Amino acid sequence: MLVHPQFDPVAIHIPLGFTELAIRWYGLMYLVAFGLFVGLARLQLRRPHVAAQGWNARDIDDMLFWGLLGVILGGRLGYVLFYKPAYYFEHLAEIAQVWHGGMSFHGGFLGVLVAMAAFGASRGRPFFQLMDFVAPCVPAGLAAGRLGNFINGELWGRPTDVPWAMVFPQVDDLPRHPSQLYQFAGEGLALFVLMWLFSRRPRPTGMVSAAFLVGYGVFRFLAEFGREPDNFLGLLTFGLSMGQLLSLPMIVAGVLLGWAASRRVLPRALAG
Write out the binding residues.
Answer: 146
DSSP labels, the chain:
-EE-----SEEEEEEETTEEEEEEHHHHHHHHHHHHHHHHHHHHTTSHHHHTTT--HHHHHHHHHHHHHHHHHHHHHHHHHHT-HHHHHH-GGGGG-GGG----HHHHHHHHHHHHHHHHHHHT--HHHHHHHHGGGHHHHHHHHHHHHHHHT-S-B-B---TT-EE-TTT-SSEE--HHHHHIIIIIIIHHHHHHHHTTS---TTHHHHHHHHHHHHHHHHHTTTBPPPTTT-S-GGG--HHHHHHHHHHHHHHHHHHHHHTT-S-HHHH-
Bridge partners, residue 176, by sequence: 159, 166
